[in-house]
Structure 1
């Protein structure tokens, strides 16, 4: 069935106005990552109220290089009253010692929303706007993996002290992108590749440490630069929880293993690995091991979803 973005937009604006009045705009806080889902959600609510709303970017230490500053600039350009909140200590402490992927996702969720609850109390807000979409709910409720932003369906929405507004929870990613264009959002938002809520924490297999995060940030920047012209749904690096022997300057080294993951997909429910030419893979591998001496080996993941998931954790 064809998605009518104009009709959906009019209906959704009407729905939001039934829940919130314009004079309540100062009681609203949007959690924004800079991705299309959270940005569309925040802009929808602001558009419905006819007034700017506050938007917070949680700097949890799990983002890509320079991302907090870039996102803040974009959100303010869209007319939101955006600010950054430093939660690195809270989140990294919550992840400390966690090895299992589900434990990490749940620890991140609890720390993330505890921080948001604190911010909401500090600024006197009552409502939290977030960009939960249908795929998040399907995977969480189905027990595949916990998406950090699914609260209501698990019966824990009241735990953190705010009321949830999730305007696009019935949409899948392709529909969200169409709606973003209907809202007039810039291409850098509409076409932005998905980046997971728990960020680099779920692209580090095993325990998350600041050393590993800094290393993966460097590798991620290289992979995104080297694959920017490859048509894909997502393209990223994963730091594995093992090391391998290598040779550098004629001497033995024992370095990290990095896996590359490049997939095509429509809605994240199914995905196929992209058959990248060997010459390109060789170039990426050579650059990583040359510029990041802590890495001794680079692998390429050729598994579809299913049986794998897109993210490793």
Structure 2
């Protein structure tokens, strides 16, 4: 397999990159229609604005509410893009995703279940409805590298695995950011005029909170991870880090509530220093901050009795747990 060309952030001419990609998208789609899914993350946000600059009303943008997002995510994302003049239609697909995840515990099988539900069941219908022939998505080079290397299957990588999206799903996929790493995508976001809060936003995985629940991603377990994530993100809002997250472990651990022994849940906190996610080291946080977030999580979420902090670099750890 030929190695993917990389455009390094330090060498890129942002204005030329944007102009070239706008032209490429216009030439590919022509007078046809394209669709894309906006999650609110950096990659999907940048590709959404890039696509709308190229296609205008010929790009239909959807937010797929899969039931596994963070607190208030759909409303926040829609409001942000409305301010930029980009309409976003929310599709409630939570029942379909939880049905696909039922009984699935293996990390790769979970990712595959989400991939198939997203691209076949949900987007297949939207493609027919919109009469689109192209899906615009924010795949970046790190997604490809990790998938091809077998580190973990990214939900948005196909051609590099020998999968033809046209045959598998009925539409072609355009990936204008695939030569970039995260730092390059952020530069493009700035060049497109996105708010800093969007292009500097912390990375969030395609499988959403399902990637932060070890074991089966049941609705009640996703809810626990969502609550812990909200507390952690509020507590860590002033931390200068590449990414941080709360992970719900599968095993129960011994704890105490009201002077009685209980078996409760365990949340693992991860916080990373990195440039492009290929390598990372745990952020050296103050013990006071770690103790504070542990107290808030265990006080607010009765089901959780233990909070831990990951201190292993990538490699051997990965940034996400699942």
TM-score interval, normalised by the smaller of the two chains: over 0.9
Counterpart position of 2:3? none
Counterpart position of 1:142? 149
* Alpha-carbon distance change, 93 to 81 in structure 1, aligned in 2, over 3 angstroms: same
Counterpart position of 1:293? 302
Mind listing any 5+ residue stretches in structure 2 that lack a counterpart?
1-9
The equivalences for 1:120-269 within 5 A come to: 120-156=127-163, 157-158=165-166, 159-269=168-278
Q: Check conservation: 2:280, 2:319, Cα contact below 8 A.
A: yes
Q: Check conservation: 1:264, 1:271, Cα contact below 8 A.
A: yes
Counterpart position of 1:276? 285
Q: Check conservation: 1:53, 1:80, Cα contact below 8 A.
A: no
- Take 1:75 and 1:53, find their aligned partners in 2: how far apart are those partners? 14
Q: CA deviation at 1:76?
A: 2.4
Q: Check conservation: 2:78, 2:87, Cα contact below 8 A.
A: no
Q: Check conservation: 2:146, 2:153, Cα contact below 8 A.
A: yes
Q: Check conservation: 1:109, 1:148, Cα contact below 8 A.
A: yes
Consecutive aligned runs of 4 or more in structure 1 exceeding 3 Å deviation: none
Counterpart position of 1:33? 39
- Take 2:58 and 2:257, find their aligned partners in 1: how far apart are those partners? 55
The equivalences for 1:9-158 within 5 A come to: 9-21=18-30, 23-24=31-32, 27-51=33-57, 53-114=59-120, 115-156=122-163, 157-158=165-166
Q: Secondary structure at the match of 2:315?
A: coil
Q: CA deviation at 1:213?
A: 0.8
Q: CA deviation at 1:89?
A: 1.2
Counterpart position of 1:8? 17
Q: CA deviation at 1:46?
A: 1.6
How many pairs were matched up? 310
Q: Secondary structure at the match of 2:19?
A: helix
Q: CA deviation at 1:51?
A: 4.3
Deviations 1:81-102 (A, max 9, x none): 3101111111111111111111
- Take 1:58 and 1:152, find their aligned partners in 2: how far apart are those partners? 23
- Take 1:248 and 1:9, find their aligned partners in 2: how far apart are those partners? 56
Counterpart position of 2:316? 307
- Take 1:49 and 1:92, find their aligned partners in 2: how far apart are those partners? 33
> Relative to structure 2, which stretch is displaced further, 81-90 or 221-230?
81-90
Q: Secondary structure at the match of 1:220?
A: helix
Counterpart position of 2:4? none
Give the TM-score taking structure 2 as reference length.
0.93
Q: CA deviation at 1:50?
A: 4.7
Q: CA deviation at 1:118?
A: 1.4
Give the TM-score taking structure 1 as reference length.
0.96
Q: Check conservation: 1:34, 1:75, Cα contact below 8 A.
A: no
Superposition RMSD in Å:
1.2
Q: CA deviation at 1:18?
A: 1.9
Q: Check conservation: 1:62, 1:213, Cα contact below 8 A.
A: yes
